[in-house]
Chain A
Amino acid sequence: MATTVVVPGLGSCDFSDLREIKKQLLSVAERSRERGLQHSGKWASELAFALDPLPLSELPAAPVLTEEDARDLDAYTLAKSYFDLKEYDRAAYFLRGCKSQKAYFLYMYSRYLSGEKKKDDETVDSLGPLEKGQVKNEALRELRVELSKKHKAQELDGFGLYLYGVVLRKLDLVKEAIDVFVEAAHVLPLHWGAWLELCNLITDKEMLKCLSLPDTWMKEFFLAHIYTELQLIEEALQKYQSLIDAGFSKSTYIISQIAVAYHNIRDIDKALSIFNELRKQDPYRIENMDTFSNLLYVRSMKPELSYLAHNLCEIDKYRVETCCVIGNYYSLRSQHEKAALYFQRALKLNPRYLGAWTLMGHEYMEMKNTSAAIQAYRHAIEVNKRDYRAWYGLGQTYEILKMPFYCLYYYRRAHQLRPNDSRMLVALGECYEKLNQLVEAKKCYWRAYAVGDVEKMALVKLAKLHEQLNESEQAAQCYIKYIQDIYSCGEIVEHLEVSTAFRYLAQYYFKCKLWDEASACAQKCCAFNDTREEGKALLRQILQLRNQGETSSTEISAPFFLPASLSSNNTPTRRVSPLNLSSVTP
């Protein structure tokens, strides 16, 4: 069998011999193509392209034909051309009775694809509403029976095992499917399709640990991919970095994956720059461009988004990603009806394209059509229960409907899925605040701050809560931390709440009779429009009081009530310019 020949070559998972890896990639790309597995072929050749070209002498030789192959050659050649023309039944008809591995795989695969195609066609015209979900791929059962017989007799090669796994997965036999895919990965580790299917079936880290995977360099790619899927971004980025170091720096696949990973942890700038790089290298790429457009959307980069949309539309306007980009474009221009229309089109092209459901939900929300939004989000959840954005969207919808208690459940679900995302925590906190459960709200805000607040609002909200509860000391501390945060990130973003923070601090210090600090804060207040008058008034008062109690004020010079660490951190209020502040804070 051809597979057994390949295995010893990749016994180790090190990347020292890139030439060998390139050889393996080229050969597996060829073999995948022979079997009609276009995507795996594409992946392998993309990766091979990233490595240095081989000299003629080292190019992999054409696979040796066996007696069986030779016998089936005619039927195979004919069937393959039918297969390429998507005439699956016809291909299967001419392949029946073929014994060679390659022909047998193509035979089974075309039967499977024919069943899938018919299923898709059936869905369009079913008899009644209840029959909508009943349409099944009729071929699956037969395929399963035949393949399991072969599987028992150990007659399946790596590709055959992969197909068997796919059939099992389609029949919702997840456990069996995982076993078979693992087996497939052992027999033919080079076949990316089997790994990818495995990625879709593994739902958490524990499951991943339980698997016994072959120890090859392919495993590294798999692990990096699954870490991204499981939102373990740090680990994923590490893996990808080590892959780049190993010599895959030119691979567009890896670059795009890294960009997606940065997108997932909302490191927008990095993600954007990587995507721009990717587009330079591979200008006609459509894959992952939806993620790119999301990033542009978040940054409100209208011209770039419009350019991207036009470009993609020229390349292929009937791609899911294209529709998604255009939808985002319209959404940014506040043409929400059109945006929803494009997302709908994306769903027509691929009903299992999860992102579009969620985005459509967002659009409906913008249009104030809450019921349609709920429907869209629910659909998204049906497709993928782990879609935190849909849960979050549902929560937002109910929040807009003024049902803070009701939406708690949805936010909690979202939080479960992304425990370290501050947005959910802030949303939870806001709900608790509305329900007047201030203790819980405080916990949420504090946690949101602790996991790294993206929108930098948690601290302000926490401070306001403390303010409400008359816990002025804690409130002041929160405001101080908030100001440090804002200045330490270096950007001069117009933050509305900064003025509020300074105003509160000024008044707080004023009450504590800490004139220096109070006047520093009051001066800061004067820099903002909405607090200017108050700041000036306070300054005048301070001046007055100082003059009156010149003698006594010297006694209370340091903020003794603050812990040492905090009072040293307290510098922002003493120093005058924000530039100094950023240098002090860690």
Chain B
Amino acid sequence: MASVHESLYFNPMMTNGVVHANVFGIKDCVTPYKMALLVLLSELGRAGAQLSLLERRRLNRLLLPLLQGPDMTLSRLHKAIEESCLNLANSVQIRIKLMAEGELKDMEQFFDDLSDSFTGTEPEVHKTSVVGLFLRHMILAYNKLSFSQVYKLYTALQQYYQNDEKKTEIDETDMELTNTEELEGKMEKEELDVPLREEEISCSGPLSQKQAEYFLSQQASLLKNDETKALTPAFLQKELNNLLKFNPDFAEAHYLSYLNSLRVQDVFSSTHSLLHYFDRLILTGAESKSNGDEGYGRSLRYAALNLAALHCRFGHYQQAELALQEAIRIAQESNDHVCLQHCLSWLYILEQKRSDSCVLLEHSVKKAVHFGLPYLASLGIQSLVQQRAFAGKTANKLMDALKDSDLLHWKHSLSELIDISIAQKTAIWRLYGRSTMALQQAQMLLSMNSLEAVNVGVQQNNTESFAVVLCHLAELHAEQGCFAAASEILKHLKERFPPSSQHARLWMLFDQKIQFDRAMNDGKYHVADSFVAGITALNSIEGVYRKAIVLKAQNQMSEAHKLLQKLLIHCQNIKNTEMVISVLLSIAELYWRSSCHTIALPVLLQALALSREYCLQYLASETVLNLAFSQLILGIPEQALNILHTAIEPILAHGAVLDKGCAMFLVAKCQVASAASYSQPKKAEALESAILNLNEAKTYFAKVDCKEQLRDVLYFQARLFHTLGKIQERNKCAMLFRQVHQELPAHGVPLINAFK
């Protein structure tokens, strides 16, 4: 999950995880749309007295987004005004028409009149109000224009009006076909909500300043939150190139192009764009800031830092470290603690890739809190929790830490960190083997509405947290035998994260794992084998493990053993405890399959010790099952029953259905074995209870469609009934056994010798 963090650390277009729309700040200029707004304002001033209170309130609320938003077409502006006040919309339309169809002097007159609104003892507009500032900006910008520019503006206005005329003509013919009031209303709303749709961008060549800004920030936030909704990489690049062709000084476009290249893993062009962006940024920084030196040095530091991030993302750790050193050095020279803090967090990410020390991490968290960088602090906490979880810290401490960071998140409403935190909890609970808790956390995230102001309650973002949670959910369902539900979830995942997107690897892995498990349950080992290659491609360790399991099932013991030994050494080296325990269990199983139970015992005890140490409760209970089975075979069923009692509870509570069945089956076997020494009535009682347990096991096996185990249970049950002299039940079981047995090929493994 480390990759979540990396992608979030630094982005100049956002602060504390929130993308800001207007970070560019380029001076205003007069456009036809702005002129339409000016007309609206002057009409508003003229009709001031006649407007009703409601209309005036609505208009006032409308004005701000209009003034600050991107340019829009005349018809859309008309509709927006119309919603608030019909008369005003019409009079604006008429005045623009008069101006566009009139002469140049009409426009000049209009601008001359504009400044009147400030004069008088009680002026209509206050000079420093929002509207007043806008008016003054516009008048100033207009007065600066040369004659030919004024003429150009006028032709642009005519164009603006005529384009609109044409469009409304087409629209009117369309409208007549679908003349439903409601539909119309809906369409308007949609248009206002999504001002830039693909076809619009592609057809309208050059964008205006605001439109370009809006386009960039929208795409940037989409890339971050919901990649599928953003434009496709190729198309986005085309748009950016277009934008840059028209205005090479628009540095942010380079940054977006960098992000876009990252999506397609293009190291060359992403480096190019990144460096170009910072070359450009250095200029603007030097110009805009009054203390030029500071602004310009700042971007230098961040340039080096970003370069480090880039190299880290592409796995060039050595280069990343060099770049990072540079960033740190420059930041130190200029005493920029915030930048240093960012560097520190990258430093521990780099450190993590190599060793698992967390000194830096702890230090970073402390510092981040000290400098008041909540975003960095809680990212640090999350990384720390993740690392500690693997290192076997107890759950309560981890959950405490997560709770503390959650407090921070809610306080600063860092919605995406909340998502990550919940996803992390899901993963941690799964690690500990508490499927119910995991399920609950997963559901919580999925049923939570998005907290971001941009799309309140609309739909969740397609971030990695959601992918993680959905994958876990699918696996949990598959474990409980709800394969239909699992595949439904996977289908949903495929839709939300198409194969080309960056988080697609997650569900691909889970999908293959689930299919593999199913094939194993069905006894179709060759099918399972075919999935191994796919799993290996996505996660090599997991792939090797699965390969060994297939080999084991196919009775190729020595190959399986070799593979498992190799894997064991590797996993011990990289400290992947979870996998170590699984491998140990498989090795033990190999031993008892070859009837070497005495050798299996120490291996199992080692596994048990490890899983207890790292609080991996589920793996611990599974180890206990194995241990009990060995004891049963070694002839101490009473002891086996004793330790089974400790394990059965967590398995029934959290285990997969298959494991539940195996556990019940084993309990029954132990009961029967220990009943051998009992007196007759007591023995009958024990056998009865064993039969009940077998019934339970049978239902579990039936759920996951595990025919082989089912057959074994039936055989065992029939024998028990026979001992008890219940002929009818015995015959029924025998018949069922025969049915199942005919469907299955007989295997070499003797029935009584296996418990799973």
- Whether a CB of chain B sits under 8 angstroms from the CB of A82 is no
A128-B145 contact given A374-B282, A404-B326, A405-B323, CB 8 Å threshold: no
Interfacial chain B residues near A586, Cβ < 8 Å = none
Q: Report whether A378 and B279 are in contact in the complex, using a CB–CB cutoff of 8 Å.
A: yes
Partner of B156, one of A127, A133, A382, A435: A127
Interfacial chain A residues near B146, Cβ < 8 Å = 125
- Whether a CB of chain B sits under 8 angstroms from the CB of A375 is yes
- Whether a CB of chain A sits under 8 angstroms from the CB of B276 is yes
- B127-155 CB mask vs A (1 if < 8 Å, else 0) is 00000000000000000011011001100
A128-B31 contact given A371-B296, A375-B283, A378-B280, CB 8 Å threshold: yes
Q: Report whether A130 and B30 are in contact in the complex, using a CB–CB cutoff of 8 Å.
A: no
Chain B nearest CB from A398 CB (Å) reads 9
Partner of A409, one of B26, B156, B275: B275
- Chain A residue with Cβ nearest B147: A125
Q: Report whether B326 and A405 are in contact in the complex, using a CB–CB cutoff of 8 Å.
A: yes
- Chain A residue with Cβ nearest B274: A409
- B241-283 CB mask vs A (1 if < 8 Å, else 0) is 0000111111000000000000000000001000110011011
Q: Report whether B300 and A133 are in contact in the complex, using a CB–CB cutoff of 8 Å.
A: no
Partner of A127, one of B31, B292, B303, B307: B31
* Tally of contact residues, A, Cβ under 8 A: 28
Chain B nearest CB from A478 CB (Å) reads 26
Partner of A131, one of B206, B248, B329: B206
Most chain A Cβ neighbours within 10 Å, of B149, B280, B296, B325: B149
Taken together as a complex, chains A and B put the C-alpha atoms of A125 and B29 apart, in Å, by: 13
Chain A nearest CB from B542 CB (Å) reads 36
Partner of A129, one of B148, B209, B286: B209
- B404-440 CB mask vs A (1 if < 8 Å, else 0) is 0000000000000000000000000000000000000
The B1-41 residues at the A interface (CB cut-off 8 A) are 26-27, 29-31
Partner of A406, one of B29, B145, B249, B326: B326
- Whether a CB of chain B sits under 8 angstroms from the CB of A139 is no
Interfacial chain B residues near A374, Cβ < 8 Å = 279, 282-283
Taken together as a complex, chains A and B put the C-alpha atoms of A131 and B249 apart, in Å, by: 11
Chain B nearest CB from A394 CB (Å) reads 7
Taken together as a complex, chains A and B put the C-alpha atoms of A214 and B249 apart, in Å, by: 43
Q: Report whether A130 and B208 are in contact in the complex, using a CB–CB cutoff of 8 Å.
A: yes
Most chain B Cβ neighbours within 10 Å, of A127, A394, A435: A127
- Whether a CB of chain B sits under 8 angstroms from the CB of A402 is yes
The A474-495 residues at the B interface (CB cut-off 8 A) are none
The A371-411 residues at the B interface (CB cut-off 8 A) are 371-372, 374-375, 378, 382, 394, 401-406, 409-410
What's the count of A-B pairs with C-beta under 8 Å?
90
Interfacial chain A residues near B286, Cβ < 8 Å = 371-372
Taken together as a complex, chains A and B put the C-alpha atoms of A402 and B327 apart, in Å, by: 10
Q: Report whether B29 and A134 are in contact in the complex, using a CB–CB cutoff of 8 Å.
A: no
Interfacial chain A residues near B276, Cβ < 8 Å = 378
- A116-156 CB mask vs B (1 if < 8 Å, else 0) is 00000000011111111110000000000000000000000
A406-B304 contact given A129-B249, A435-B322, CB 8 Å threshold: yes
Taken together as a complex, chains A and B put the C-alpha atoms of A146 and B246 apart, in Å, by: 26
- Whether a CB of chain A sits under 8 angstroms from the CB of B349 is no
Q: Report whether A130 and B209 are in contact in the complex, using a CB–CB cutoff of 8 Å.
A: yes
Taken together as a complex, chains A and B put the C-alpha atoms of A371 and B288 apart, in Å, by: 13
Most chain B Cβ neighbours within 10 Å, of A130, A375, A409: A130
Taken together as a complex, chains A and B put the C-alpha atoms of A266 and B283 apart, in Å, by: 33
- Whether a CB of chain A sits under 8 angstroms from the CB of B212 is yes
Taken together as a complex, chains A and B put the C-alpha atoms of A126 and B30 apart, in Å, by: 11
- Chain A residue with Cβ nearest B28: A128
Interface of A: prevailing SS? helix
Interfacial chain B residues near A127, Cβ < 8 Å = 29-31, 145, 149, 152-153, 156
- Chain B residue with Cβ nearest A369: B286
Interfacial chain A residues near B205, Cβ < 8 Å = 134
A130-B247 contact given A371-B296, A406-B304, A435-B322, CB 8 Å threshold: yes
- Whether a CB of chain A sits under 8 angstroms from the CB of B616 is no
Taken together as a complex, chains A and B put the C-alpha atoms of A410 and B272 apart, in Å, by: 10
A125-B148 contact given A130-B247, A132-B247, A371-B286, CB 8 Å threshold: yes
* Tally of contact residues, B, Cβ under 8 A: 46
Taken together as a complex, chains A and B put the C-alpha atoms of A127 and B152 apart, in Å, by: 8
Q: Report whether B323 and A406 are in contact in the complex, using a CB–CB cutoff of 8 Å.
A: yes
A125-B149 contact given A405-B323, A409-B271, CB 8 Å threshold: yes
Interfacial chain B residues near A134, Cβ < 8 Å = 205-206, 246
- Whether a CB of chain A sits under 8 angstroms from the CB of B231 is no
Taken together as a complex, chains A and B put the C-alpha atoms of A409 and B212 apart, in Å, by: 29
- B357-385 CB mask vs A (1 if < 8 Å, else 0) is 00000000000000000000000000000
Taken together as a complex, chains A and B put the C-alpha atoms of A441 and B208 apart, in Å, by: 48
- Whether a CB of chain A sits under 8 angstroms from the CB of B207 is yes
Interfacial chain B residues near A370, Cβ < 8 Å = 282
Taken together as a complex, chains A and B put the C-alpha atoms of A126 and B247 apart, in Å, by: 13
Partner of B209, one of A128, A371, A375, A402: A128
Taken together as a complex, chains A and B put the C-alpha atoms of A394 and B275 apart, in Å, by: 11
Taken together as a complex, chains A and B put the C-alpha atoms of A196 and B530 apart, in Å, by: 61
Interfacial chain A residues near B568, Cβ < 8 Å = none
Most chain A Cβ neighbours within 10 Å, of B156, B212, B322: B322
Interfacial chain B residues near A372, Cβ < 8 Å = 283, 286
Q: Report whether A133 and B248 are in contact in the complex, using a CB–CB cutoff of 8 Å.
A: yes
Taken together as a complex, chains A and B put the C-alpha atoms of A403 and B283 apart, in Å, by: 17
Interfacial chain A residues near B323, Cβ < 8 Å = 405-406
Chain A nearest CB from B346 CB (Å) reads 14
Chain A nearest CB from B242 CB (Å) reads 10
Interfacial chain A residues near B296, Cβ < 8 Å = 371
- Whether a CB of chain A sits under 8 angstroms from the CB of B718 is no
Taken together as a complex, chains A and B put the C-alpha atoms of A302 and B307 apart, in Å, by: 43
A129-B27 contact given A378-B276, A378-B279, A409-B271, CB 8 Å threshold: yes
Interfacial chain B residues near A125, Cβ < 8 Å = 146, 148-149, 152
- B205-224 CB mask vs A (1 if < 8 Å, else 0) is 11111001000000000000
Q: Report whether A405 and B247 are in contact in the complex, using a CB–CB cutoff of 8 Å.
A: no
Partner of A405, one of B148, B271, B292, B304: B304
Most chain B Cβ neighbours within 10 Å, of A375, A382, A437: A375
Q: Report whether B330 and A402 are in contact in the complex, using a CB–CB cutoff of 8 Å.
A: yes
Chain B nearest CB from A578 CB (Å) reads 42
Q: Report whether A129 and B145 are in contact in the complex, using a CB–CB cutoff of 8 Å.
A: no
A130-B304 contact given A402-B329, A403-B330, CB 8 Å threshold: no
Interfacial chain B residues near A403, Cβ < 8 Å = 300, 303-304, 326, 330
Interfacial chain A residues near B275, Cβ < 8 Å = 406, 409-410
Interfacial chain A residues near B285, Cβ < 8 Å = 371
Q: Report whether B153 and A129 are in contact in the complex, using a CB–CB cutoff of 8 Å.
A: no
Most chain B Cβ neighbours within 10 Å, of A394, A405, A437: A405
- A407-429 CB mask vs B (1 if < 8 Å, else 0) is 00110000000000000000000
Taken together as a complex, chains A and B put the C-alpha atoms of A394 and B276 apart, in Å, by: 11
Taken together as a complex, chains A and B put the C-alpha atoms of A405 and B303 apart, in Å, by: 11
Taken together as a complex, chains A and B put the C-alpha atoms of A403 and B285 apart, in Å, by: 18
Taken together as a complex, chains A and B put the C-alpha atoms of A100 and B296 apart, in Å, by: 61
- Chain A residue with Cβ nearest B301: A403
Interfacial chain B residues near A402, Cβ < 8 Å = 329-330
Interfacial chain A residues near B27, Cβ < 8 Å = 129
Taken together as a complex, chains A and B put the C-alpha atoms of A404 and B292 apart, in Å, by: 23
Chain B nearest CB from A549 CB (Å) reads 50
Taken together as a complex, chains A and B put the C-alpha atoms of A382 and B283 apart, in Å, by: 15
In addition to A402-B330, A437-B322, 16 A-B residue pairs with Cβ atoms within 8 Å of each other are A125-B146, A126-B149, A126-B152, A127-B156, A128-B208, A133-B245, A371-B286, A375-B279, A382-B248, A401-B300, A403-B330, A405-B322, A406-B275, A406-B323, A406-B326, A410-B275
Pick the 3 closest A-B CB pairs, nearest first: A128-B29, A371-B286, A133-B246
A residues near B (Cβ < 8 Å) are 125-134, 370-372, 374-375, 378, 382, 394, 401-406, 409-410, 435, 437
- 7 A–B pairs (Cβ distance < 8 Å), ordered by A: A126-B149, A129-B209, A130-B209, A133-B247, A374-B282, A402-B329, A405-B325
